[in-house]
Amino acid sequence: MHPEVQNTKEGKCPKCGMNLVEQDTKIYQAMRQKTNPAHILEKTAQKNRGVLYTCPMDPDVVLDSPGNCPKCGMELVPMDLPEQEEHTGHKGAEQDFRKRFLVTLPFVIMTMFLSPSIQNWIVFSINFPRAEWLVFALGTFIFFFGGIPFFRAAKGELSHQNPGMMTLVAFAISVAYLFSLATTFLFSGESLYWEMATLISVFLLGHFLEVRAVRGATGALAELAKMTPPMAHLVHNGGIKDIKTNDLRINNQVLIRPGEKIPIDGIVIDGESAVEESMITGESRPISKHKGDQVVGGSLNQDGSLIIEVSKIGADTAIAQIMRLIRDAQSSKPNVQYLADRAAAILFYVALTAGIVSFVVWVFILPHGIIFAATVAVAVIVVACPHALGLAIPTVTTITSTLGAKNGILIKDMKGLEIARKLSYVVFDKTGTLTKGEFGVTDIILAHNSKLQTQDLLELAAAVEINSQHSIAQGIVNETKKRGLKMPAVREFKSFPGKGARGRVNSGEVCVGNRTLMEELGISNLKFPISDEEFEGKTPVYVVIDKHFAGAIFLADIIREESKEAIQRLHEMGIKVAMLTGDIHDVANEVGKQLDIDTVFAQVLPEDKVNKIKQLQTQGNIVAMVGDGVNDAPSLTQSHVGIAIGAGTDVAVESASIVLMRNDPMDVVKAIALSRKTNNKMVQNLAWATGYNVFAIPIAAGVLYPALGILLEPQWAALLMSASSIIVVLNALLLRRAKLTV
Ligand code: ADP
Ligand code: MG
């Protein structure tokens, strides 16, 4: 009941006292081994093109080699093939079912007309000698030709020791056929040929529709693959040559004309244009690109021409990475799926037992003859087929991951998304997340007895900071460049994360950093000639030269416009917001006040950030951490839901379960909305998939027969079973059109 509770030992859930269940069933352990990312990457490297295989009916099954589906036994098909490759892929399986349905249909109709009971029913009769032989021949053909896909899949299921729907189908039609054979050859009596024939017909039709629906649900990935144009204009010996995008190599130069799609990732080396990157980042505003800017394959060039130098090819491109993430997400299961699959496995035995029990009852306890009893048994087994249950969750998760990707939200781990709907606290990193992380220098103040000029102070600080990754360092370096100053060379650079940096410039030692660093250096006299109040809300960087305090550079950051709205929305959703920063209390409180943040954690050292998350968790909160993924990695991992923000095209953020492409806190709100919508769909689907059994199994077993004469015949049972699967898939498909605005 509480998927966030995960324990390495058996026992009871600390929240509700239910027995904890084992997370990996045998199938998933096998699949995990095969879908282990390291294993896949290695294989991908080997094969270069790394084709993965999926089941046409169970989209959550993703393996790296062909074979049978461990869940339903069907033959696996290659993933993400373009539509034109008809005879493999999902389309191949779909067409196979259709072909078998159409070929057997006329014979099924003939069998029906030749059946004495149907002739009786519509008061019509054709009778010729040896008619039963014709019926036998027709039945046999239908049984073998129409039944093959089910027998094959049943064999696959049994070989994985995971009997399920296909085994039941194969069993049901075999029972009907063998019984009919017996009436033809062993004893006289009415056969079940026409019942068997219609059953197979409905199964074929149902599976055709089902595979088709699943293809619709998983097709989005193939659509992503189609986003990059197949051909590119290579700049070659001063001329232009059109070559396949796949043949491009690193450092090739490629021309992109106005209105064309950019074929591959690269750096602009000539030209200027606006580029719309919404397919990759979800950002719909076109972004202007100049020399030196990065462009990504699949984005749309607008008004100008660009020449780019290819910087990434093959599996390294942003699109390829995104596709890989979506595939991974497809095979990462939310916890409810383990539950659904377990229920489906149990339902198999329920179906079998119910079938046998009803047979026994109708033969011995309420004697209605063997034919009646066999028909009832077949109907029970058929109607209880648990396939809808197996489809209920994976169809939703595949659509969720593509819907997310379209909105710039990449889901790496479905378990993270699953918990996101229950969040009670969202913790934001301040710098670069709630604020722009673009620090500007506002003031430079010299110490009382300083012999330096402000320019010298800036130059010396910048000389050290040029080696640092911090956004404060960038602000100082930018200011120096803006003023046209030069930065002396630095040696022995050392960075103190969350504190500052140090280096040797012109034979003097220069330290830059915050108060904590100064205290560690034993420098306490951090007084300025002007009163401190002037600098409220600004971040000071103290500069120390040869152990003497020389002055300070003050910087200010800008709060993102979207932050305020995002926090307001989170509050409306009943979620509290915290801010986590290494910056001083003064600045943090100012930002906290402006944004109406519930809890502010300031002056937290990088290694302590994770403790703040733990602190909120021990108070019983379900916590999401939103950070840039580089220095926030431990906190992202510690939180229930790690959300990496502003990934741009560098989507492979390891420690997060959700990756936001843009740097927009509103996307956090969208991700939570997506989580809630996904959960609603899953619940609906589970209700559909299990609910109908509650009515259908007893009716098929004949509980209404003695009183009302109502019975569910096998072919109707088959129709109902397929219908429930199809309803589940169609219901999941509705999620495609969902809007993530809240
Ligand atoms: P945040 O949580 O805002 O990302 P950090 O933990 O990275 O902050 O840094 C905390 C504080 O340490 C900064 O506000 C700054 O005062 C100081 N600091 C860190 N790195 C540097 C640097 N390279 N130069 C100057 N100050 C720094
Ligand atoms: Mg940071």
Instruction: Clarify whether residues 632 and 527 are in a common domain.
Output: no
Note whether residue 140 is domain-resident.
yes
Amino acid in the structure at residue 299: S
Instruction: Clarify whether residues 201 and 109 are in a common domain.
Output: yes
The rounded distance, in Å, linking the Cα atoms of 375 and 182 is 15
Instruction: Clarify whether residues 218 and 99 are in a common domain.
Output: yes
Instruction: Clarify whether residues 216 and 98 are in a common domain.
Output: yes
Place of tokens 């390891």: 654
The mean pLDDT of the chain is: 82
pLDDT for res 84: 39
Alpha carbon 715 to its chain's center: 37
Weakest mean pLDDT among 3-17, 355-369, 660-674: 3-17
Q: Rounded to the nearest whole angstrom, what is the distance from the C-alpha of residue 652 to the centroid of ligand 2?
A: 18
Instruction: Clarify whether residues 443 and 536 are in a common domain.
Output: yes
Final residue of a domain: which of 676, 692, 721?
A: 676
Q: Which residues are catalytic?
A: 429
Give the bridge partners for 544, in sequence order. 511, 549
Judged against a pLDDT cut of 60, whether residue 245 lies above it is answered with yes
Give me the domain span that covers residue 611: 408-435+560-676
The rounded distance, in Å, linking the Cα atoms of 538 and 157 is 66
pLDDT above 90 covers a percentage of the chain that reads 25
Question: Which residues, 6+ apart, have CB-to-CB distance to 509 below 8 Å?
Answer: 502, 503, 545, 546, 547
Judged against a pLDDT cut of 50, whether residue 1 lies above it is answered with no
Judged against a pLDDT cut of 80, whether residue 636 lies above it is answered with yes
Judged against a pLDDT cut of 50, whether residue 43 lies above it is answered with no
- Residue pair 278/12 in contact (Cβ under 8 Å)? The answer is no
Tokens of 130: 């040896």
Note whether residue 316 is domain-resident.
no
Weakest mean pLDDT among 17-26, 587-596, 630-639: 17-26
Note whether residue 85 is domain-resident.
no
Q: Which ligand is nearest to the CA of 646?
A: 2
Query: At 270, which CATH number?
Result: 2.70.150.10
Q: Rounded to the nearest whole angstrom, what is the distance from the C-alpha of residue 582 to the centroid of ligand 2?
A: 8
Return the ligand 1 atom nearest residue 495 CA: 23
Give the bridge partners for 241, in sequence order. 234
pLDDT for res 219: 59
| Tens of pLDDT, residues 677-701 | 999 999 999 988 888 888 888 888 8
The rounded distance, in Å, linking the Cα atoms of 258 and 244 is 19
List the end-to-end C-alpha distance of the chain, in Å, as a whole number: 26
Note whether residue 54 is domain-resident.
no
Return the ligand 1 atom nearest residue 580 CA: 2
Give mean pLDDT, residues 92-106: 90
Among 514, 526, 604, name the best residue to mutate to test ligand 1's pocket (greatest count of ligand atoms within 8 A of Cβ).
514
pLDDT for res 129: 67
Alpha carbon 525 to its chain's center: 54
Strands of 490-496's sheet in order across: 440-446, 548-556, 539-545, 508-513, 500-505, 490-496
Among 479, 510, 581, 607, name the best residue to mutate to test ligand 1's pocket (greatest count of ligand atoms within 8 A of Cβ).
581
Q: Helix (H, G, I), strand (E, B), or coil: what is residue 93?
A: helix
The rounded distance, in Å, linking the Cα atoms of 290 and 602 is 38
Q: Rounded to the nearest whole angstrom, what is the distance from the C-alpha of residue 602 to the centroid of ligand 1?
A: 11
Q: Rounded to the nearest whole angstrom, what is the distance from the C-alpha of residue 432 to the centroid of ligand 2?
A: 7
pLDDT for res 431: 85
Instruction: Clarify whether residues 473 and 550 are in a common domain.
Output: yes
Query: At 430, which CATH number?
Result: 3.40.50.1000
Q: Which ligand is nearest to the CA of 439?
A: 1
pLDDT for res 148: 92
Instruction: Clarify whether residues 441 and 509 are in a common domain.
Output: yes
Note whether residue 401 is domain-resident.
no
Judged against a pLDDT cut of 90, whether residue 521 lies above it is answered with no
| Tens of pLDDT, residues 558-571 | 898 899 999 999 99
pLDDT for res 47: 42
Judged against a pLDDT cut of 70, whether residue 130 lies above it is answered with yes
pLDDT for res 375: 83
Q: What does the chain come to in residues? A: 742
Domain count, the chain: 5
Backbone conformation region of residue 500, classed left if phi is above 0, alpha if psi is from -120 to 50, else beta: left
Give mean pLDDT, residues 441-455: 86
The rounded distance, in Å, linking the Cα atoms of 34 and 82 is 24
Instruction: Clarify whether residues 468 and 593 are in a common domain.
Output: no
Instruction: Clarify whether residues 238 and 362 are in a common domain.
Output: no
Query: At 450, which CATH number?
Result: 3.40.1110.10
pLDDT above 70 covers a percentage of the chain that reads 84
Note whether residue 490 is domain-resident.
yes
Give mean pLDDT, residues 48-77: 74
Note whether residue 373 is domain-resident.
yes
Name which residue sits closest to atom 17 of ligand 1, judged by CA: 499
Q: Which ligand is nearest to the CA of 601?
A: 1
pLDDT for res 299: 87
Q: Rounded to the nearest whole angstrom, what is the distance from the C-alpha of residue 437 to the centroid of ligand 2?
A: 9
- Residue pair 164/345 in contact (Cβ under 8 Å)? The answer is yes
Q: Is 19 exposed, middle or buried (0-12, 13-18, 19+ CB in 10 A)?
A: exposed
| Tens of pLDDT, residues 150-185 | 899 888 888 887 777 788 888 888 988 988 888 888
Judged against a pLDDT cut of 70, whether residue 734 lies above it is answered with yes
Place of tokens 């019509």: 124
Judged against a pLDDT cut of 80, whether residue 52 lies above it is answered with no
Instruction: Clarify whether residues 334 and 217 are in a common domain.
Output: yes
State which of 83-97, 379-393, 403-417 shows the largest mean pLDDT: 403-417
Q: How confident is the model at residue 477 (pLDDT cuts 50, 70, 90)?
A: very high
List b or e across 250-287, with b for residues whose CB sees 16 or more CB atoms inside 10 angstroms.
eebbbbbeeebbbbbbbbbeebebebbbebbbbeeebe
Final residue of a domain: which of 628, 659, 676?
A: 676
Final residue of a domain: which of 251, 280, 311?
A: 311
707 compared with 665, residue with greater pLDDT: 665
Residues with CB under 6 A from ligand 1: 429-431, 465, 468, 470, 472-473, 498-501, 512-514, 539, 541, 581-583, 606, 631
The rounded distance, in Å, linking the Cα atoms of 513 and 495 is 10
Judged against a pLDDT cut of 80, whether residue 14 lies above it is answered with no
Nearest to 391 by CA among 719, 154, 727: 727
Q: How confident is the model at residue 465 (pLDDT cuts 50, 70, 90)?
A: very high
**What pTM value is reported for the model?**
0.74
- Residue pair 211/90 in contact (Cβ under 8 Å)? The answer is yes
The rounded distance, in Å, linking the Cα atoms of 118 and 124 is 8
Instruction: Clarify whether residues 29 and 172 are in a common domain.
Output: no
Instruction: Clarify whether residues 212 and 341 are in a common domain.
Output: yes
Name which residue sits closest to atom 21 of ligand 1, judged by CA: 500
713 compared with 220, residue with greater pLDDT: 713
